[in-house]
Amino acid sequence: MKLPELEKPDKYVGLYAVDFGDHAGVGFTAEEVAELLESERYSYAKAYKIHRAYPDGTLELKGVPTDTFQLEAGMFFYSRDITAAKRNFRDLVALAAGMAPPCRAKVHLAACGDEKFVTALIYPAEYNDEVSRWLLEGRYKTSSEAEGGIQAVQRYYQRNPDILERQQLFARAHHASRTGEQLLASVGLAVQG
């Protein structure tokens, strides 16, 4: 894959490079990559997340499996005490109000049976690194057991939890995503945005 030379390569960190076979493009958002991979026309494309950029224009890329863009990941904070579980829920919602998450997400306070409660944070899997960083930067802490990942979300849904409270979290907008015809019209460009 041959990537174009970039002015200010550091502005592309966190975005994606996409290899279309006959050409490549740099600067796609996660939402744009997901839309391209869901389309029949570009379902074969390969996506790479840009993790670092160096002053000489070199990019550090990490391949992202196609199915990642179709899955949800999550962080789950367990408690045997409803009061502690409610505090976890409130603290997570308050964190999002003060420092918006990197992507759209949902938070549930749920009863899981066995006198166990969970505060669930569920988001698109392609944002796993960013959500982890957001929780660390926001100093979100619980005093209980936690787990995370794609399989954890699947287990959560299989338990059919009793959702006691729910909250939608909205992302901070770093890069505007294009959709539909606007996105498809720009696929041939080596540098997006």
CATH assignment of the domain containing 157: 3.30.70.1710
Residues 48, 110: one domain?
no
Beta-bridge partner residues of 25: 18
In total, how many domains does the chain have?
A: 2
Residues 35, 81: one domain?
no
Residues 65, 76: one domain?
no
Q: Which residue has the higher pLDDT, 192 or 89?
A: 89
Beta-strand ranges (E) seen in 7-145 are 16-19, 24-28, 46-53, 59-64, 72-79, 105-111, 117-124
Residues 118, 93: one domain?
yes
- What is the sign, positive or negative, of the torsion defined by CA atoms of 149, 154, 155, 161? positive
Residues 148, 83: one domain?
yes
Reported pTM: 0.78
| Range of the structural domain that residue 129 is part of | 71-169
Asked, for residue 87, whether it belongs to a domain, the answer is: yes
pLDDT digits (tens, 9 = 90+) for 93-138: 999 999 999 989 999 999 987 779 999 999 999 999 899 999 999 9
Q: Check residue 75 and give its pLDDT.
A: 96
Residues 116, 50: one domain?
no
Asked, for residue 1, whether it belongs to a domain, the answer is: no
Picking from 5, 20, 79, the residue whose alpha carbon sits closest to that of residue 32 is 20
Residues 44, 83: one domain?
no
Per-residue confidence band for 193, with pLDDT thresholds at 50, 70 and 90: low
Joined together, the tokens standing for residue 147 give 């787990």
Residues 81, 14: one domain?
no
Instruction: Determine the average pLDDT of the residues in 155-167.
Output: 94
Residues 79, 165: one domain?
yes
Q: Check residue 136 and give its pLDDT.
A: 95
Q: 23 — phi, psi (to 5°)?
A: -160, 170
Asked, for residue 114, whether it belongs to a domain, the answer is: yes
Residue 88 is which amino acid? N
| Mean pLDDT, all residues of the chain | 90
Residues 83, 165: one domain?
yes
